[in-house]
Structure 1
Amino acid sequence: MASYHLSVKTIKRSAGRTATAAGAYRAGERIECQREGRVHDYTRKQGIEETFIVAPENAPDWATDRSRLWNEAEASETRRNSVTAREWELALPSEINAEDRSQITRAFAEELVSRYGVAVDVAIHAPHREGDQRNHHAHVLTSTRKLEPEGFTAKTRVLDSARTGGVEIEQMRGVWAVLQNRALERVGEVERVDHRSLEKQREAAQERGDTLSADELDRDPELKLGPAANSMERREKAAAEREGREYVPVTERGAVVHAARQARAAFREMRERLDIARETYGAEREAGQGRVSAGLAALRAATSKG
């Protein structure tokens, strides 16, 4: 089932982090940080499917050199507590193929460049071997200054400001949802993602008179399993499938998540049956059947689903 995730973090010197280390780690490369005099070597890192850099059209030639790019970003900041980069972490739909995942991630990167004039460094990662094998994701590292012909210039204050930053990020969350949904539609997937909170989605459903969707959305956000619990549950699911038995969660968090997913699945099935009944009833009435006959046909269609 398609799910939505986009988070934004900052690379802060005050937290002991650097843009050079972040760029090297996410891309699985070796970068020497000229400011610190340290070498960040992650060439042994596995699970990296693709990396690329997107920069403004008038950017210097060195913008596509990952080591130079992030060293220049570090050199452009003089304060001890500077934010030297921003990271957008994206969940990628497992329902689409690697080429499509690359395409929508590049489109998102290009939108960041167009909107803010920054340099964007993308690393697409495969799921961890011990984790959820649907967890395709991308790390999108951006500069916090505009990149122009003379190099890094003004700060992207629109993202830093408390007044405008949240609005901008929400706009980009919407962009990412649209890109995913278009890709899902192209491959014939019915599922869609929604970047809005459950509360906002529920309000929208109520406004359009969709009481069933509103009721389905009247729930708490799904509990996050965390890496350890997720790994345990994945192993148990695989064992249950091999042994031909029913999967029973082995962790407390896993049991809560499993129960919530079962409840949502039951609700969706009930809604699908109701939709079938409504469509059948309407078709039978248009064909000249009486209310009772049409009702019986709708009931048979709904109960015979699946």
Structure 2
Amino acid sequence: MAIAHFSASIVSRGSGRSVVLSAAYRHCAKMEYEREARTIDYTRKQGLLHEEFVLPADAPKWVRTLIADRSVSGAVEAFWNKVEAFEKRADAQLARDLTIALPLELSAEQNITLVRDFVERHILAKGMVADWVYHDNPGNPHIHLMTTLRPLTADGFGSKKVAVIGDDGQPVRTKSGKILYELWAGSTDDFNVLREGWFERLNHHLALGGIDFRIDGRSYEKQRIDLEPTIHLGVGAKAI
């Protein structure tokens, strides 16, 4: 049965992670990790059903040129190495990593259509790159979706923080006159909106598929249901 799992983490060097390493693992691919001048090879890994690397409609010329005529994994390799090279800090945050359960009730083709719909409306529309893979593990179909934390600019990447713009089109200022900034990739509230957007699209596609039930992504507490939530077990835990 379809489950309401939608989680996020940050790919950060501070926690020992690499976005190129994460991408190679997710895409079951062989990639050059240029920062450490070594090759990452996950071509023996199983479970990859589908993969896409998609740019927003207004993506600048340099990034389109960067990935032109490359395979999906080749485009992913080139782009995330570019991110790794740009971020200099030892504790740099490199990408947002979403893990989203897919409904068993929909076919693979229907789930791909669902993900594309969600990505178009809630990722690309915000100017973010979408790198996603569909892992068809038995009883646990899901996607991993990595998105950018910085805007794409004409010559590279912009700031992670941008000025808050008021209704008058001008930057909002504090009482002391300083410009108020927010994270370009979004706050906790923005993440909750993103999560709600997934469940809205999920339920829409369940209805299109003739499935007569809906998924509520709210917690039991918010639904006023007197139950303790269970812990989502990944494929590794299930194997144990």
- Sort the TM-score into its range (normalised by shorter chain): 0.7 to 0.9
Distance in 1 (alpha carbons) for counterparts of 2:119 and 2:3: 20
Q: Does 1:170 align with 2:170?
A: no
Larger radius of gyration: 1
Asked if 1:102 is matched to 2:124, the reply is no
2:226 to 200, 210, 218: 218
Residue 128 of structure 2 corresponds to which residue in structure 1? 118
Quote the offset at 1:149 in angstroms.
Answer: 3.4
Sort the Cα spacing of 1:79 and 1:100 in 2 relative to 1 into closer, same or farther, 3 A: same
CA root-mean-square deviation:
2.1
The CA distance in 2 between the partners of 1:136 and 1:156, in whole Å, is 35
Aligned match of 2:140 in 132, 135, 145?
A: 135
Structure having greater relative contact order (Cα 8 Å, sep ≥ 6): 2
Q: Structure 2 vs 1, CA of residues 159 and 193 (structure 1 numbering), >3 Å: closer, same or farther?
A: farther
Q: Which has the higher helix share?
A: 1
- The separation in 2 between residues aligned to 1:24 and 1:229, in whole angstroms, is 22
Q: 1:186 to 1:156 in 2, by over 3 A?
A: farther
Length-normalised TM-score, structure 2: 0.80
State the SS of the aligned residue for 1:169: helix
Distance (whole Å) between structure 2 residues aligned to residue 189 and residue 20 of structure 1:
38
Gaps of at least 5 residues in structure 2 are 69-74, 163-181
Q: Which of the pair is proportionally richer in strand? A: 2
Contact 1:2 1:191 in 2 (8 A): no
Task: Identify the residue that residue 87 of structure 1 maps to in structure 2.
Answer: 97
Following the alignment from structure 2 to structure 1, what is the Cα–Cα distance between the partners of residues 109 and 161?
31
Gaps of 5+ in 1: 128-132, 203-216, 233-306
* 1:44-90 Cα distance to aligned partner (Å, 9 max, x none): 21110000011122322124611110011111111110011110100
Contact 1:24 1:40 in 2 (8 A): yes
User: Superposition pairs for residues 238-277 of structure 1, below 5 Å?
Assistant: none
Displacement of 1:156 = 5.9
Match of 1:198 among 202, 220, 237: 220
Q: Is the 8 A contact 1:174 1:195 kept in 2?
A: yes
C-alpha spacing 1:3/1:105, structure 2 compared with 1 (3 Å): same
Equivalence for 1:180: 202
Q: Secondary structure at the match of 1:56?
A: coil
| Matched-pair contact (CA < 8 Å) for 1:109–1:122 | no
Report how far residue 186 of structure 1 moved.
1.2
SS of aligned partner of 1:145: coil
Out of 59, 70, 83, which is 1:73 matched to? Answer: 83
Q: Percent identity?
A: 34
Residues 151, 184 of structure 2: 8 Å contact kept: no
Determine whether 1:26 maps to 2:37. Answer: no
| Conservation of the 8 A alpha-carbon contact between 1:122 and 1:140 | yes
